[in-house]
Chain A
Amino acid sequence: MKHPRIATLALASAALAAAMAAGTASARELVLGFQCDRSGPTQLVGNFLCDGAHDYIRLANRNGMFGEGNSVRAFEIDHGYNVPRGVEAYERSKEAGHVSYGLYGTPHTYALTPKLTTDQVPGTSPGFGSAGAANGQSYPYVFPVAATYWSQAGAAVQFLMDEWEASGQSGLPKVAYLYYDNPAGREPLEILRDIQGRIGFEMREFAVPPPGVDMRPQVLDIVRNYKADWVINHTFGKAPAVSIKELSRLRFPMNRVIGFVWAASEADMQAAGWEAAEGYQALQFAGVGQNHKVIDQIKAMYAEEGKEAPDDKMAVSVYYNRGVFIGALHARAIANAIEAVGADNVTGDDVRKGFESISDFTLGGFMPPLNITPEDHEGGGWVQVWQVRDGAWVPITDWIQGYRDVIMEHVEKAEPPAG
């Protein structure tokens, strides 16, 4: 009944895949697999981020970053934030022979962590996934590469305490933690509660059930009942825009709101209205805006190819640039691996070592000074605070870390997966 059908289908598709693979073979084309969500709940991020990664890989290929005759193919598959499709995407990219993998989405990172370890292929999970994965000993093949939620929590509290002191007010601030009510939203709680216990400021948690289309009662509570001094905004998707809009409607001062990295894009401010967002602050793990050498290079590449640069995508520079950041790290790690063992011998494990030998990689100030080591897969957990001023993001701090000692205590305790 069903099985001959599968078999024919499988054989036909296998033949197709083989034909495609044969058609594209060159000196050595290394495959960088990655997955993306362009149709599911986080498409507002994915559509920009993944294009950035594609563009950087293309740039690296043109610049001969991988040595004579070698190239990297960025093989992206959309999973619509659906885990089985994400696993299938990983398998398909493994079949294509990937040596490095870009994960996308927290549940997918969880589901694929054991597979990455079995297959010995490094996977990056910038800004999502498990914060414990910063521990390279427990999670040898997962690289958060950017600040985890724990590091973001530390930096956010550090920043708001500094601001509080600078403003010369007495006592300690009352902090409202407005978070997305899912595992990713709850992850920083462990750190926040620990730091709160040590410093002793007052904190209340306000949960926003996904997707956060409406959060008037929570914001009303924060502003009119709890009367918070500071708000930490850890929301995703469309919730950041809604929260900014509601806070500004209730005249909460925006310069006392600090957003985590997924509540920080131009698209969010656009949706909330730049005037409403004036003064809003957020953490960034990659450079924002288009005044970067690497962005100019990508534009020049489009000009040379005689194509129009994707201005509408690049305009959402927060996500686009993060894609460039991810692409750049993979490219660097693969290039490191090629240098170490030669292009023909590169395996996933070599790329892992390539990641672990990335040091002081900043791409001309585009990224924090990353130092990834076999122990620290997070690269320091650096973030930068940017603020909305006159309708644009402006950096207001240097790359910062916060309560690193507290966070490292938790990271060291992180258990390896599959216990």
Chain B
Amino acid sequence: MSNYLLETKNLSISFGGLKAAQDVNLKIQKNELYGLIGPNGAGKTTVFNMLTGVYRPTSGEFFLDGENLTGKSAIEINRRGIARTFQNIRLFSNMSVIDNVHVGLSNQSKCSIFASVFRFPSYYKTEKDLRERARALLDVFGLDEERRTVASNLPYGKQRKLEIARALATHPKLLLLDEPAAGMNPQETAELMENIRFIRDHFDMTVLLIEHDMSLVGGICDELTVLNFGTTLAQGSVSDVLHNPEVIRAYLGDE
């Protein structure tokens, strides 16, 4: 079949009469940094919600690595390899930093409730292995020293990092970042973009990210899709898209 990691075919959803997303066709290659941009209410997050099983598409399909995941539950989709972060941070805020990552890792270990309660040897092995992996991941994000901190006490930028670490812990093939730079100052944003590049290069990850701000996305993305009112406005390499008169009109209006 196709050699794209993620391919969506005419992905559409409507709520009553409102067509929130119409015929969205994304083709994302492995190891690509792909941007999804558009003005407010363009349907970007709706596309994410369809790709992660929060919404079921009204029509159209999407494939991850050639496998049709349309209509699967959020849990199933995560297990097949799509992980996401949220626009408004959704950490497990009362749990420690390391436990947040533990939760992300938990599907990759098999240790029944019975074995956990009665402390079978498999429990200790699982816990040890999970702890090592979690700390290794936290180390990558410079969070290891704060692993015992309650997640909600982390500074904002670190919470974003932790959310990405937690998503990576589920061992995805594709990472979806929903406005990772929201609420950050230019300095933090620049650093974040550096982090995303780092993740792509060092984890060999494919990243699809939503951003509001075209100038930010222009810096790191390989390709872009622009949505406006739920429809695809433009698609292609960054420079092409950003010079597209249609796109400029959508953002700035006529004249």
Do these two chains really belong together in a complex? no
Binding site for A on B (CB under 8 A): none
- Residues of A whose CB lies within 8 Å of any CB of B are none
